Structure 1
Amino acid sequence: MKKLTIVLLALLIAMTVGSGVIMAQEDYTILVMPKLVGIPYFNASETGALQAGEDLGVNVEYAGPTQADAAAQVKMIEDYITRGVDAIAVAPNDPAALSPVLKKAREEGILVLDWDTPADKKLVDYSVHQIDDQAYGEHIVDLLVEEMGTDEGDYAILTGGLSAANLNSWIDYGLDYAEEKYPDLNLVTERIPTDEKQQEAYSKTLNLLRAYPNLKGIIGISTPAPIGAAQAVEERGLSDEVAVVGTSLPNDSRPYLKSGALDVATLWEPDKLGYLTVYVALEALKGNEITDGMEVPEVGKIEVWEDGKTIIMGPPTDFTAENVDQFDF
C-alpha cells in the first residue's frame, strides 16, 4: 500500500509539473505582425505562425494593417502593448517609424523581435531573417544576367516600398555587386515603388516599356512586383525580349513561369519563416538559448550569427517552369 501511495504521488507530481509547463506556455501570448495582411506571402507566413502556436502550445495572434502602412502598425502595436502581450514580432514597413513604439514595448517588459524585415537592431532581442541579405541580392542579379543572356544593357528595378529595410538591403547589395561584376549593365532609373501591389507593378512596367524601348531586364523585389511586371511584359508581347526575375511565390508565379513572361522567381518558404518566428519567440520567453546549427521542428537547421541575435533560416529556392509544380504555397 505504501509503495502504491508513493507511485501515485509521483505520478500526480509528474502530471502537475507537466501540466504546469504546458499551461505556462499557453499563458504566453505572442503577436506576429506582418507588413500587411491579405497578400499571399503573408497569408502563408500566417499559416506557419498559427501552426507553430498549435504545435508548441502557445497563444499566437497574427495581425497587421490592410495596407503597407507604418503608422497603422504603430497604432496596432500600441493596442497590443496595452493588452499585455508577452512578445511582439514585427516586420516593419518603416523601421525608423516603429522605433519609439518598440522602445516602449521593451520598457514594458515585452520581448521584441523583428522578422522578414529588420527593425532598429538596438531594439530587438532577436532578428529572424529568411536568408543572408548580401548573398540574396547578388543571387538575384546573377539570375537577371543569366536570363538576359548578356551582361550588358538596360534594366530596371521594381520594389515594394521605398522604406522597407529588407527590400532596400537586397537591392543595395545587388547594385553594389552589379557595379563591380557587371559594369556594362545600365540601371535606367531609380528603384520604382509599387506599394506591394501587383496592379501598381503592372502599370509601372507598362510605363517603363514605353519610356525605355531597349530595356532588356526587370528585377521585381516584393512578391507582387515580379507578377505585375510579367503581366505587362506578356501583354506587350515582349516575353522573348525582356527578362523578368524576382521574389515571388510559386503559386502566383506559375502561370507566368509557364508562359515564359516570368523567367525565374526566387524565394524561401514563408510558412516556415512564420513557424520559426514563433519558435524563437517562445524559446526566448522560456529563457532558452538559440544556438547556431540547432534543429528547429518543421524548419531545419538554422544559422545564428556572432551577435547572438541574428538568425538566418536558410538559402532561397529558385522556381522555374520546370520545377514550380513541385511547390504549393
Structure 2
Amino acid sequence: MSVTDKAYAPHPSTRVAFIGLGTMGAPMAAHLLRAGHHVTVYNRTAAKAQAWLTEQAGAVVQAQAQTAVTPAEAARGATVVFTCVGNDDDLREVVSGPQGVFQTLQPGGTVVDHTTASADVARELAAAARERGLQFVDAPVSGGNVGAINGALTVMCGGDAQAFAQVQPLIVAFARAVTHLGDSGAGQLAKMVNQICVGGVLQSLAEALAFGEKAGLDMPKVLDVISQGAASSWQMVHRGPTMLRSEFDFGFAVDWMRKDLGLVLDEALRLGARVPATALIDQFYADVQAMGGGRQDTSSLIRRLR
C-alpha cells in the first residue's frame, strides 16, 4: 500500500494514535504522517503494524512514526486517537477494554472513530468518554480503499460540535469532505443512509447491464452514452466497465456490505422505518456469498443475473 501525494493544509504537528491498519486505516494513518504529525500505530496483527512502519521509512515526512503493542500504549501521550476496526465489539475492545485507549488518554483528548458501526455503540462510547473528561466523535467514511489512498474520503461526523471543530483539521489529511451532522450517532446514521443508496444503485446497475447483455447490445458503448446522461452515477462510471468484464477482485467486499446492511436493518426496525428494497438486496448479497463471493467487490451482484 502506498498513498498518493496531496497538498496538506498547514496545521501544527500533533501527537496522534491510529488503531487499526486494514485496507482503510493504513493509508489514512500514512496521510496523517505525511501531513507532519507524530503517529503511533497499533494493529491486532502486530506484523501489519511493523510492515506499515517499514513502508513509511522512505517517506519524506516532518514527524516520527512508531508502533505500540496495545491500544492503551498507542494512546499514551496522544491528543487525538483515530480508530478504524471491524465492528461494535472490536471497537469496544480497543476503546474501553482493559487495554483500550480510555486507560491512558489524558482528559481533554478525543477519540475519532472511523469504523462503520452502530449508532448505539457511538452513543455508548461518547457517554463513557464524557465521564472520563474525554471526547468521542463517530466519523464513518465513504470512498473505499481508493479514496483512502488518494486522501479523498467523505467523512460523516456525529458528536460535540466543539470536538468536531478541533479534529476537523486533522481529518482533512485523508479527506476531501468532512461534515458535522449532529449529536453522537449522527455520523453512523448518515453512513447507513449512504449504504442504502449504494446498494440500491448497484442492484439497479446490475439488472440494467444484465438486461443489455441478454438483448445483445454493445454494452461498453451503451455505458459510454448513458453515463453522460441522467442515469449516470459514480458506480456506473467506475464499476460498470469492470462489471461487464466480470472483474470483482478489488474494492469494498460483499462480507463488509452485509455487515453494514445488517446495521441498517437493525436500526430500521428500531426506528420503524420501512426499507424493503434494502432488505431484498441484503438477501441478494447473501446469494453472492453462497456463490463464494464474500470477498469480492459489491458490484458482484451481477453474478446472480448471468
Name the structure with the higher strand share: 1
Q: Aligning the two structures, in what range does the TM-score lie when normalised by the shorter sequence?
A: 0.3 to 0.5
| More relative contact order, 1 or 2 (CA 8 Å, 6+ apart) | 1
TM-score (norm 1): 0.38
Structure whose CA Rg is larger: 1
TM-score (norm 2): 0.40
